Homo-oligomer: A and B are copies of this chain.
Amino acid sequence: MGLQAGPRERLDEWLRAGLEWVESSLNESLQEVESAPQQLQAAMRHALMAGGKRLRPTLVRYFAAVAGGDDDCARTPAIAIEMVHTYSLVHDDLPCMDDDDLRRGIPTVHKRWDEATAVLAGDALLTQAFALLAQHEDAAALVEVLAEASGPVGMVGGQVLDLTVALDPSGFDDAKAAARAVEEVHSLKTAALFRAACELGWIAGGGDSARRVAARTYGHALGLLFQATDDLIDVTGSAEGLGKTPGKDAALQRPTLVAALGMDGARERAQALATEAREAALALGLDEGTVAVDLVSHLLNRAH
């Protein structure tokens, strides 16, 4: 990639290289469970190798490099966070939750096998994530970060809130209070894992503890921005670009930022989150011209 590459080309190349590294790492990591029952291995592999942008593990790799580490130190936390993200999708897709038959164009685990296999494959992926982290020289800190981000005060808590909080505008004093309730869900359900990705990379790469909070803040703002623009796209996007039916959130009465603040208010909030993420990047020495900043602009302006 030449020095003249624009932000978009640089970001695309970063994502492409990250995806390749993540997928080969995931493939290797599955060898560790080759003594598990065949059907369980097949279901774990089916879910894990179904594609996706691999943004979370690519962020782990990036922040490890920013902190001064190499790919080797980033590998187990990168795989672990992708296993946790994947298990959450497998359980989300179950009939008792979102009841999805397809994920990325292929049958979900409970459609390909059955619900019991989907529950157990998710359980296996979650547990294996921690088995991998235990092998890392920074095991204690990595397990602490990932478990907190994905557990009852993190992602799983967000799932429960998302299922139980209906955004009834009359239940809030004003739009700001409604937006805060929406962002509480976003923060737990999505931003927690983005935050953990950046923090895991920073720790694994040997970053100093003084700037660890900036890595967290960047990931947190990036995750909230990702969800804010997801809410916007759900209203403005086409079915083709989205890969799902637009307006689904509103139809399901899901709590979204657009429902709370309107389109203009949600756009403003996305701008503010982008600024927050850019400032955190700057605190880490990552200014204009770095992938950290490109990614913020890309998420802010994305159409799908």
Q: A interface vs B, CB < 8 Å? A: 33, 35-37, 39-41, 44, 87, 91, 94, 96-97, 114-117, 119-120, 122-124, 126-128, 130-131, 133-135, 139-141, 143-144, 146-148, 150-153, 156-157, 159-161, 163-164
Contacts and interface: CB of A to CB of B under 8 A. Distances in A.
Main SS of chain A's interface residues? helix
A122 B120 CA distance: 11
Nearest to A135: B144
B96 A40 contact: no
A113 to B, nearest CB: 10
B97 A119 contact: yes
Copies of this protein, total: 2
Contacts of A148: 131
A152 B96 contact: no
Contacts of A131: 143-144, 147-148, 151
6 contacts: A41-B152, A124-B157, A130-B143, A130-B147, A134-B140, A134-B143
A189 B41 CA distance: 16
A142 B300 CA distance: 42
4 closest A-B pairs (Cβ-Cβ)? Answer: A96-B115, A127-B151, A131-B147, A139-B140
